[in-house]
Amino acid sequence: MTNPAGRFGIHGGQYIPETLMNAVNELEEAYNHYKNDPEFNRELTELFNEYANRPSLLYYAKKMTEDLGGAKIYLKREDLNHTGAHKVNNVLGQALLAKKMGKTRLIAETGAGQHGVATATAAALFGMECVVFMGEEDTIRQALNVYRMRLLGAEVIPVKTGTRTLKDAVSEAMREWTTRIDDTHYCLGSVMGPHPFPTIVRDFQAVISKEIKEQILEKEGRLPDAVLACVGGGSNAIGSFYHFIEDKDVKLIGCEAAGRGIDTFETAATVNTGKLGIFHGMKSYFCQDEDGQIAPVYSISAGLDYPGVGPEHANLHDIGRAQYVPVTDEEAVQAFEYLSKMEGIIPAIESAHAVAYARKLAPTMSRDQIIVITISGRGDKDCAAIARYRGEDIHE
């Protein structure tokens, strides 16, 4: 007899060591209880509104719309959240849940550092201990975020195994969790890993599409024609898509990091180049070789530099409900510069992948159509790296 829990089509599941099974079962049980608990939801809404600056703006990008000469463009400003990215939505939810479960210590993985910063922030707010695992390569690319986490009281452990990036940070956080379960909650940062994480993270991020829907109906009196978001593991994308999944006329478009191109090995575009596999607790699509060895992926964006994709995205791809398009480093950097100059908004390099695709898509659409792009985070953290990409060496 098997447990069909946590499946999205054929994807998902709980492919984890036996040592962790009771921990994820306990988490599922607690979540199923608290998600319908009015007091829990009241506290979470208060945190969202009073601490994290929700609801985030839905901003009409007038200049960009006029410049591209096609669909009307709205930006969902998750970059304006406290800590500067959508990550805080999930972290406040999980930290509150962990606290209710009696946990006193949060551990997390981080790529770009945004999830690590958000977790360190929540730990500081709730008075919890916090340890963040970050690939050594990423601690160099995102030194400022390492400092922010330490300032917030977290311990940052540089991970020196494998490719020293996000996937290795996830592996190391999972290893740490098997070592210390009783007082520790693993605050996973994306819609990935074993059930119930893809569902829990999705539910906490779904506030993004809930707000988009209310805001666009108020501003335009109708639903958008397309919603665009960048996809690494896929948490801001699933959050942006979720309340539109049943609205079949709304196109859902995930923008993957193609790195130097999907015809090269230096890519992180999982849906476009990966194949079905089992890793990090889930069945989904992964970049891997013919022997199932996980591929060393590449993207200029540390936050999208992951060889897998969340199981719900894998299923939305299978059933044709969402489309996943590759965006190269060069296109993303151009979009990073474009949005800065055009709207005075510096997006995270991750979010710039979605902006880049919108620049191609909008001109092909008519002026009475509407695109919403989720700006998942702010780009301050990326300025030094983008300057380097353009051949300018600046010191922070």
Binding site for other proteins (CB under 8 A): 2-3, 5, 13-23, 161-162, 167-168, 171, 174-175, 178-181, 275-281, 286, 288, 290-294
CB of 270 to other proteins, least distance (A): 14
Strand order in the sheet with 58-60: 58-60, 72-77, 370-375, 226-231, 251-259, 322-328
327 membership: H or E segment, kind and range:
strand 322-328
Between 53 and 178, name the residue whose CB sits nearer to other proteins. 178
Nearest CA among 121, 93, 350 for reference residue 234: 350
Question: What are 339's two structure tokens?
Answer: 């949005």
Catalytic residue among 76, 256, 376, 381: 376
Between 69 and 292, name the residue whose CB sits nearer to other proteins. 292
Between 87 and 283, name the residue whose CB sits nearer to other proteins. 283
Between 22 and 364, name the residue whose CB sits nearer to other proteins. 22
Catalytic residue among 72, 87, 213, 283: 87
Other CB atoms within 10 A of residue 308 CB: 30
Distance between CA atoms of residues 140 and 142, nearest Å: 5
CB of 283 to other proteins, least distance (A): 8
Residue 109 annotated as catalytic: yes
| SS3 state of residue 278 | strand
CB of 275 to other proteins, least distance (A): 8
CB of 274 to other proteins, least distance (A): 11
**DSSP secondary structure letter of residue 47:** I
Distance of CA 155 to the CA centre of its chain: 22
In terms of phi and psi (left: phi > 0; alpha: psi -120 to 50; beta: otherwise), the region of 311 is alpha
CB of 21 to other proteins, least distance (A): 5
Between 1 and 36, name the residue whose CB sits nearer to other proteins. 1
Catalytic residue among 78, 109, 137, 331: 109
Distance of CA 144 to the CA centre of its chain: 19
Q: What amino acid is encoded at 225 in this protein?
A: D
Among all residues, which ones are annotated catalytic?
87, 109, 376
